[in-house]
Structure 1
Amino acid sequence: MTSEPDTAVRLVVADGIGVLRLARPPVNALDAAAQEDLRRAAEEAASRDDVAAVVLYGGERQFSAGADIREMAAMSHSAMLVHAERLSGAFTAVADIPKPVVAAITGFALGGGCELALTADYRVCADDTRIGLPEIALGVIPGAGGTQRLSRLVGTGRAKRIIFTGAPLGAAQALDIGLVDEVVPADQVLAASTAWASQFVGGPALALRAAKQAVDLGAGTDLRSGLQIERALFAGLFGTEDRSIGMTSFVTAGPGRAGFVGR
């Protein structure tokens, strides 16, 4: 099942996997309309029971070259105050999908494209990918989560070096610092990403949701508060049918044999 074909971001669902497909050629520049399409598609993927995991994909040639600079160049300060909130909100909608999300990165993932990849839980990129945050060369800084998500992922020192210089990284460099998790030949990116997402189909959806919440919420607070978040989410799962299924199956049949129902 596919969302409206004339949108810049389409949700295509098959076999439990929802593919958020960027479709604004030639380089998937994310203008205001594309950002709104991204938000709507992300919210749909989050709400659908037939979507167990999500793949962010820009196509065989490009992930995304970032924001539409021509559009932004004409904006005043007051206009950007409004636009920046919408931009950040669209990317946050992807980050907030309560399911495993993998970015399938081909070609360039620059500026907003890199920031979109940072909203994912796992990143697979092509061996010829170039990824980075070049906004400094435009006299601005990343405005869709780049300064925050990158520093949390790779550390403040590495994040500052990437942001201050604006220089893109190759796939090997990105893998070395943990910016991406897996590097494969370009023609295998979508298959590898789909394989990673497929392992969660039929899995314990509520436990996966809780695990993602625990990590994401805990990362933004101190250890003591993070442990409180973890305890509450852990205990809450004891009210679910999946917890009963999982533990009963473990006791009677051993690990890895539970048939979860998502309740």
Structure 2
Amino acid sequence: MEIKDQVVLITGAGRGLGRAIAQGFAREGAKVIINYHHSEDKASQLKQTIGKQAIALRADVRDIEQVQEMFQRADKHFGRPVTTIVNNALINFKFDPVSKKDASKITWQDYQAQLEGAILGALNTIQTGLADMKEAGFGRIINIGTNLFHNPVVAYHDYTTSKAALLGFTRNMAKELGQYGITVNMVSGGLLKQTDASSATSDEVFELIKNSTPLRRVTDPSEVADAVIFFASPWARAATGQNLIVDGGLVMG
């Protein structure tokens, strides 16, 4: 299925990387669902920018009933079900290397909060959309990871662990859902300049990343968005269970 014929849900799309992903899919002609939890103003502004091919819908992806209602509203609005899911939502987290909790302070509740955002959120969206994808014989699921679980330059214990778990989740889903024409992949960016989540990161850290990266620059959200769109496109039809690192070459492998 070409991108212009897809109905794409992007969770956490009101700001940052999610916003760039929504804009990228809209550019390619897809119908776009801008999911948000707290960023109502930003989501509404993005919807106005994109126009008629987008709808902004509030839902906490950790709540299955809210997710189901969002899918129903989107189906009614566009007249056809979701074909493509981008699990991007980030729950209550800032990339702040100064105030982050170290090994002596991190709690299980911190881990649990990030695991629920990453794994429970993705599970809810996939299970809600699965029946329609099976019926269509087509589905594209792209989960947003991080290069930090390959190379934890900063030890964001809870966030990085949840994203490592998300890779295992991605590959298990890919194994089971491939028989229905559904691919499941991950795109892992590095530190992005600049999103709401990375706003607490110092210029010194950005400069360190820049100087350590073969491309000698910090990755832009639009560049990660293009990789997400690739996995939804016909060109990636034989790729599933993969993790594509998009960070200018900082992490290789």
Larger radius of gyration: 1
Same fold (TM over 0.5): no
Higher relative contact order structure (alpha carbons within 8 Å, sequence separation ≥ 6): 2
TM-score for the superposition, normalised by structure 2: 0.32
